[in-house]
Amino acid sequence: MAGSFMKTRSLVVRLCLVALFFSYGAKPAIAQTSESRQPIRSEAPLPTETPAERNARLAWWREARFGMFIHWGLYAIPAGEWKGQTDHAEWIRDSAKIPLPEYDQFVGQFNPVKFNAVAWARLARRAGMKYLVITSKHHDGFALWDSKVSDFDVMATPFHRDILKELSTACRQQDVRFCTYHSIMDWHHPDYLPRREWEKANRPTAGADFDRFRAYLKGQLQEIVNGYHPAVLWFDGEWEDTWTHAMGQDLDDYVRGLNQNIIINNRVDKGRHGMAGQTKDGGYRGDFGTPEQEIPDQGLPGVDWESCMTMNRHWGWNAADTQWKSTEDLVRKLIDIASKGGNFLLNIGPRPDGTFPDQAVERLEGMGRWMEKNHNAIYGTQASPIGKPAWGRCTMKPLGNGRTRLFLHVFDWPSDGKLTVTGLAGRPFKVALLDGGQRLKFAVRANDVTIEVPSQPKNPMATVIVLDLAKL
């Protein structure tokens, strides 16, 4: 520990020097109109950035729609089980009240000999995922990269390989954008406050200095941003009272100072509205809202958001968790989210040997088979202009010259061979199956179009029909 304190101290000096070069003026608060219903503004544009620049910065992310989340760290070793209780996961140090010296013993056991970064990145790509967000550090404070500012990192384990380095390289090879999740809350660093309730007696706070923790955090982020070039920084663990709005703004400025094209979620600041995750009014930082384990009931016009979700009931590896969502459910969740203008960040909790659970692989491959045929109905699409039809969902894409393509994602295939789309203006000039291209006959009556569909769906998870309109 003494070593890491020294490293932290020399870092503070370096950071002060950096700060002299990057002195940011006070940023004016962004005036925001108050919304009548939910707090839904997720954009807090940088004062130095025009709307066009912001659109250009977010363009790839808005087109991508689908990403992989990876929760991996020391907590994979106990696999969710502690003293007979089996519902723990990445929170295990807190939920099982494991004292620090005992938790530290996992460092000597972390040796994922089957870890293959290329296999992970390839699986993400084959599933149709355009980006990958891995936990550089979760709440337990353990760093998955070779960190110069901490000894509580992967280089202290028998594995002794820089996971972020291997994975960021593999992602670039596989054309998957590499991104990192970084927890602000840190249950390991002596300067982080507060302590967990149950460990207060054994981890005194005397001498702890939260500003020194902030310098440590910046040191870590400098290593990550400059070393591995994540396209997104996905913060979390921002909710404790020690983390303030001013600190969130400061950290947001700091990271954007390292890479002005980076995308940062709203958990860098204090504007997240509960688990629904959208950003409250009030000039909070963050490029996008972060609903967790839920999907908004409706799209939020003009708001960027991403629902993150587990495939079973835990983020980190839990060997006892058998409650996997079906591939069909996951495909339909992706479609539902795209139909509301959001992104889907779907989680994997790898095992301590470095492999993905078999059930996760099976689902990724299943989603990939659907995406292979239907990706045009997901990537680069916008929210449905016709709400939520009774038979499924709708996404859309502008075709130029005022023309619009609707993608009708049919969940409930009509038994009478007729699919009715309501609320359209004008006559479609083309209706066809997306997979295979078969043209379909249709009849127009007022604002409704009734399509003659084959007796069987192309894919029972969702069959996509393309419908092109001269105007909406």
The residues that touch ligand H79, with contacts defined as CB under 6 A, are 71, 90-91, 236, 239, 274-275, 292, 308, 315
Distance CA 176, CA 104 (A): 33
201 burial class (0-12, 13-18, 19+ CB within 10 angstroms)? exposed
SS3 for 42-92, per residue?
CCCCCCCCCHHHHHHHHHHHHHHCEEEEECCCHHHCCCCCECCECCCCCCH
Rounded to a whole number of angstroms, the minimum distance from the CB of residue 292 to ligand H79 is 6
Distance CA 73, CA 157 (A): 11
- In the bound state with ligand H79, the residue whose beta carbon lies nearer, of 212 and 273, is 273
Rounded to a whole number of angstroms, the minimum distance from the CB of residue 89 to ligand H79 is 8
Q: Name the DSSP letter for residue 254.
A: H
Distance CA 289, CA 61 (A): 13
Rounded to a whole number of angstroms, the minimum distance from the CB of residue 424 to ligand H79 is 39
- In the bound state with ligand H79, the residue whose beta carbon lies nearer, of 239 and 429, is 239
- In the bound state with ligand H79, the residue whose beta carbon lies nearer, of 79 and 308, is 308
Distance CA 398, CA 21 (A): 44
- In the bound state with ligand H79, the residue whose beta carbon lies nearer, of 309 and 424, is 309
Rounded to a whole number of angstroms, the minimum distance from the CB of residue 137 to ligand H79 is 11
Whether 295 contacts 332, CB under 8 Å: no
- In the bound state with ligand H79, the residue whose beta carbon lies nearer, of 162 and 236, is 236
Q: Which amino acid belongs to residue 381? A: T
Rounded to a whole number of angstroms, the minimum distance from the CB of residue 342 to ligand H79 is 16
Whether 417 contacts 452, CB under 8 Å: yes
- In the bound state with ligand H79, the residue whose beta carbon lies nearer, of 284 and 407, is 284
Distance CA 235, CA 224 (A): 13
Distance CA 268, CA 291 (A): 14
Peptide bond into 350 cis (omega under 30): no
Distance CA 82, CA 468 (A): 56
- In the bound state with ligand H79, the residue whose beta carbon lies nearer, of 308 and 406, is 308
- In the bound state with ligand H79, the residue whose beta carbon lies nearer, of 90 and 186, is 90
- 301, HSE (Cβ side, Cα atoms, 13 Å): 4
Rounded to a whole number of angstroms, the minimum distance from the CB of residue 370 to ligand H79 is 25
- In the bound state with ligand H79, the residue whose beta carbon lies nearer, of 264 and 453, is 264
Residue with tokens 């993608």: 407
- In the bound state with ligand H79, the residue whose beta carbon lies nearer, of 344 and 411, is 344
Rounded to a whole number of angstroms, the minimum distance from the CB of residue 72 to ligand H79 is 11
Rounded to a whole number of angstroms, the minimum distance from the CB of residue 90 to ligand H79 is 5
- 461, HSE (Cβ side, Cα atoms, 13 Å): 20
Rounded to a whole number of angstroms, the minimum distance from the CB of residue 239 to ligand H79 is 4
Rounded to a whole number of angstroms, the minimum distance from the CB of residue 324 to ligand H79 is 18
- In the bound state with ligand H79, the residue whose beta carbon lies nearer, of 100 and 276, is 276
Rounded to a whole number of angstroms, the minimum distance from the CB of residue 187 to ligand H79 is 12
**DSSP H helical ranges for 175-323:** 210-228, 245-258
Distance CA 368, CA 387 (A): 26
Cβ neighbors of 411 (< 8 A, separation 6 or more) are 332, 391, 392, 393, 462
| Torsional sign, CA 293, 238, 138, 306 | positive
Nearest to 307 by CA among 122, 65, 135, 470: 65
Peptide bond into 194 cis (omega under 30): yes
CA angle 398, 401, 405 (to 5 degrees): 30
Residue with tokens 């470095």: 354
- In the bound state with ligand H79, the residue whose beta carbon lies nearer, of 308 and 396, is 308
Rounded to a whole number of angstroms, the minimum distance from the CB of residue 85 to ligand H79 is 17
Round to the nearest angstrom and report the end-to-end CA distance of the chain.
63
